[in-house]
């Protein structure tokens, strides 16, 4: 006996096994082989479809938001950019936890 795992048996194996079973005329028919081969199918839930759409939308976003970078660079150059050390420390702790 052969164990095939997740892969369907090769067509030659199907024909050989069917012939051994005493049905050679059925084994040679194309329809008999197609009936034996399993069909893979995936059904996604509504939540999974929503997540897939969300990931697609995220992939379309630019990796760097240039308008935000320019805004911060201008504030740094003007001396108007102020860093709140408590907020920075809080975010650092949140990342670690």
pLDDT at 2 over 70: no
Report yes or no on 44 lying in a domain: no
Q: Is-contact 28 15, C-beta < 8 A?
A: yes
Report yes or no on 82 lying in a domain: yes
At residue 63, the pLDDT reads 86
Higher model confidence: residue 70 or residue 24? 70
Per-residue pLDDT of 42-91, as tens digits, reads: 777 888 888 989 999 999 988 888 999 999 999 999 999 988 999 999 99
Q: Is-contact 15 27, C-beta < 8 A?
A: yes
Report yes or no on 48 lying in a domain: no
Give CA separation, 62 vs 50, 59, 74, in Å: 21, 8, 21
- Enclosing domain of residue 84: 63-97
* Count of structural domains within the chain: 2
Report yes or no on 58 lying in a domain: no
Segment among 29-33, 35-39, 42-46, 64-68 with least mean pLDDT: 29-33
């Amino acid at each position: 006996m052969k164990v095939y795992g997740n892969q369907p048996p090769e067509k030659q194996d199907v024909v050989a096994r069917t012939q051994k079973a005493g049905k050679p005329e059925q084994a040679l028919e194309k329809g008999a082989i197609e009936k034996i081969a399993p069909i893979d199918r995936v059904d996604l839930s509504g939540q999974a479809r929503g997540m897939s759409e969300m990931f697609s939308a995220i992939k379309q976003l630019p990796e760097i938001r240039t308008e935000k970078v320019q805004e911060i660079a201008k504030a740094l150059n003007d001396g108007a950019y102020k860093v709140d050390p408590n907020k920075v420390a809080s975010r650092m702790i949140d990342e670690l936890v």
